[in-house]
Amino acid sequence: MATRIVRPAPAIGTDPGITPVGALPGVGPALVASLARLGLERVQDLWFHLPLRYEDKTRITAIADLRVGERAQVEGVVEAVERGFRYRPQLKVAIGDASRQTLLLRFFHFNRAQAEQLLPGTRLLCYGEVRHGAQGLEMVHPNYQRLSGEAAATVDELLSPVYPTTEGLGPKRLAGVIGKALALLPPAAQLELIPPELCARHGLTSLRDALLYVHRPPPDAHLGQLMLGQHPAQQRLAFEELLTQHLSLKRMRAAVRRRRAPRLTGADGLQRRMLERLPFRLTAAQQRVGDEVARDLVRPQPMLRLVQGDVGSGKTVVAALAALTAVESGYQVALMAPTELLAEQHLHNFRHWLQPLGVEVEWLAGKVTGKARKQALARVAEGAPVVIGTHALMQEGVAFARLGLVIVDEQHRFGVQQRLSLRDKGKDGELVPHQLVLTATPIPRTLAMSAYADLDVSSIDELPPGRTPVQTIAISNARRIEVIERIHAACGEGRQVYWVCTLIEESEQLRAQAAEVAHAELSAALAGFKVGLIHGRMKPKEKQAVMDAFKSGALAVLVATTVIEVGVDVPNASLMVIENSERLGLAQLHQLRGRVGRGAVASNCVLLYQPPLGQLARERLQVMRDTNDGFRIAEKDLELRGPGEVLGTRQTGQLSFRIADLTRDAHLLPAVQQVGEHMLAEHPRQTAQLIERWIGGAARYAHA
């Protein structure tokens, strides 16, 4: 008979927070694996794994007092049971109580044994959400337990937390493990990492008390505050999490600043010649931001600057001037964009501005293959002054001779590790390149103070003269014919039109008009005018041919998917129709609208929507009608969608929040910054411990 080897659980050390969860009693290897899927590996991870919501099982509510939309606990006796199979199997159980009212319990997933237990006369204690039903109030799939005899039902003494969980790990079992972890909470002074004088100055309550409260709120706790995350205990935890992210970004920024970068002084000759050739003068905002960038480039520490500006504000010109400074200083420049269309637009602009000055601009994208790619790689390795491309710039085999400046456009579309790999290609001995990040999506102040704390932020908050505000209207798809007639009139006046579709292929489910269908419809309705089509599945050469035809005026109307969101500049296009606009977010709608209004002619944007509109979509379209200000739109976008979505899909290494909400907790940020500056200067050990507590291994990515 084989001998079973029992490995002892890890011992709980002097610092229980860093103890592995496997050291807790009753936590075996299978449970350790389940907890790891939630990122819960140490005891302190369990302390900070907070409830999603709370259930109030501390009292029993009479059926007569139930309110629709609220979750409640009721006690009742089964009065009738019905099993139905009309559309799908369902079990309906009617219960009544002393208030002489009836509540229907409805189950769609049940077994025979369950149905046989719920006989008339059975006493039940049920908890669930109250809804309107065809026969009165009902609960769908409530939690319930059968009560025996005449004994009174036992209610909980505290509100019941409901934790985020994972497959194979039930909520009760997870709550039990967290309870064991809470028993190991050290005394308040030992747990606290923010110095006492700072806690006192900013009115911060005890971290230990806050944790115990949110995990075990008393029956008289303000449930509304807790559900909204506004209880002082939750705010105390949110403060510490925001502080930790701020400290992490600032510390990583300091680490990058300790590296050396080339001093890019230039002689202003190339810049001056480029400015003389431009058909316009820089705005005051462009000059101000250009000066900020120039001051960074002459320093021996790496520049880490984000230049934000609304659509059409002239960020590319500022980037080109910075590139010339690097070239004149004897260094290479790499400009990376997320899509080939946007990269090609940069290529066109840079070649138009730089090549007459004798500065060659190299192109390196995924579609550059074979012999052309080998030649391009060789020129880059030999020192091609400016290289523009997509993520292909980061691939193996791409080597720079002397990279001094990296420009990343629309940086939130790139993963952290992607940006790191491009920066690492520029290492020249101990020197690392300067980094200039561009975004046409204005960053709300709240996000700039937190998620971008590792970057200096410059804003081009002024549009070039001659740009006319775009008038925006929202029209139901039922008036589609009127919109097409308006397009016909615009084309007759020599103007050009974008028609933007959100899908390439027809989809009955989403009721979205496909680009091919719209192209056929408009081609038939606009006889005498040429209608083009462009979408992401076309080959690059086909896309370029269509764009060239539209730019030259050979096409009157361009039917497109959202591939034209950024990087397309056709001043004669003065009307845009966005179909199924209710499906797009504010940032994307604003980016698309920025394709018109680039000339002197008054421009218009028509937001076609498919009724009925939901509340969120209605608010988005109203914001688009009310303002052209990208910064106001960004703030509203943050309010409606939340920070995770505004920043783009959560990327590898991007810090995410467990408790804090940048919209809800923005009022904490000024104090967070004050405490953060003091801790970085005076308390480096506690700073490191805070980062380890909240972030752990993710911190190493924060400096991208």
Higher per-residue confidence, 410 vs 63: 63
Specify the number of domains making up the chain.
Answer: 5
Query: Same domain, yes or no, for 558 and 480?
Result: yes
Pairing status of strand 573-578 against strand 496-500: parallel
Distance, CA of 279 to chain centre: 38
Query: Same domain, yes or no, for 313 and 401?
Result: yes
Query: Same domain, yes or no, for 395 and 435?
Result: yes
Answer for the pair 177, 27: CB distance below 8 angstroms, yes or no: yes
- Report the C-alpha gap between 273 and 266 in whole angstroms: 13
Whether the predicted pLDDT of 34 surpasses 70? yes
Lowest mean pLDDT among 245-249, 377-381, 496-500, 671-675: 245-249
500: left (phi over 0), alpha (psi -120 to 50) or beta: beta
- What is the model's pLDDT at position 703? 40
Query: Same domain, yes or no, for 4 and 111?
Result: no
Higher per-residue confidence, 625 vs 4: 625
Query: Same domain, yes or no, for 219 and 145?
Result: no
Task: Count how many residues are written for the chain.
Answer: 704
Beta strands in 325-469 (DSSP E): 332-336, 361-364, 386-389, 403-409, 434-439, 456-460
Rounded to two decimals, what is the model's pTM? Answer: 0.66
Residue 702 belongs to a domain: no
- Max mean pLDDT among 8-17, 400-409, 580-589 falls in 400-409
How open is the CA angle 453-406-545, to the nearest 5 degrees?
Answer: 115
- What is the model's pLDDT at position 244? 92
Whether the predicted pLDDT of 519 surpasses 60? yes
Question: 473 — phi, psi (to 5°)?
Answer: -130, 155
Place of tokens 């590792």: 454
For range 133-141, the mean pLDDT: 90
Query: Same domain, yes or no, for 300 and 402?
Result: yes
Residue 684 belongs to a domain: yes
DSSP letter for each residue of 664-697: TTGGGHHHHHHHHHHHHHH-HHHHHHHHHHHTGG
For the chain, the distance separating the N- and C-terminal CA atoms, rounded to the nearest angstrom, is 56
Helix axis angle, 315-328 to 269-277, nearest 10°? 150
Lowest mean pLDDT among 14-18, 111-115, 566-570, 627-631: 566-570
Whether the predicted pLDDT of 644 surpasses 70? no
Continuous segment of H or E residues that includes residue 498: strand 496-500
Whether the predicted pLDDT of 511 surpasses 80? no
pLDDT digits (tens, 9 = 90+) for 331-376: 999 999 887 778 888 898 999 999 999 999 999 987 788 888 899 9
In CATH, what number is assigned to the domain containing residue 144?
2.40.50.140
Task: Return the amino acid letter for 581.
Answer: S
Residue 665 belongs to a domain: no
Residue 350 belongs to a domain: yes
Continuous segment of H or E residues that includes residue 182: helix 171-182
Question: 436 — phi, psi (to 5°)?
Answer: -120, 120
Query: Same domain, yes or no, for 361 and 448?
Result: yes
Query: Same domain, yes or no, for 560 and 611?
Result: yes
Query: Same domain, yes or no, for 223 and 273?
Result: no
Q: How confident is the model at residue 662 (pLDDT cuts 50, 70, 90)?
A: confident
Q: For the chain, give the percent of residues with pLDDT over 70.
A: 87
Query: Same domain, yes or no, for 324 and 412?
Result: yes
Structure tokens given for 65:
């007092």
Residue 662 belongs to a domain: no
Identify which of 681, 679, 645, 648 has the alpha carbon closest to the alpha carbon of residue 663.
645
Residue 71 belongs to a domain: yes
pLDDT digits (tens, 9 = 90+) for 200-225: 999 999 999 999 999 999 888 888 88
Residue 646 belongs to a domain: no
Q: Which domain holds residue 231?
A: 187-260+672-693
Lowest mean pLDDT among 71-80, 87-96, 480-489, 533-542: 533-542
In CATH, what number is assigned to the domain containing residue 537?
3.40.50.300
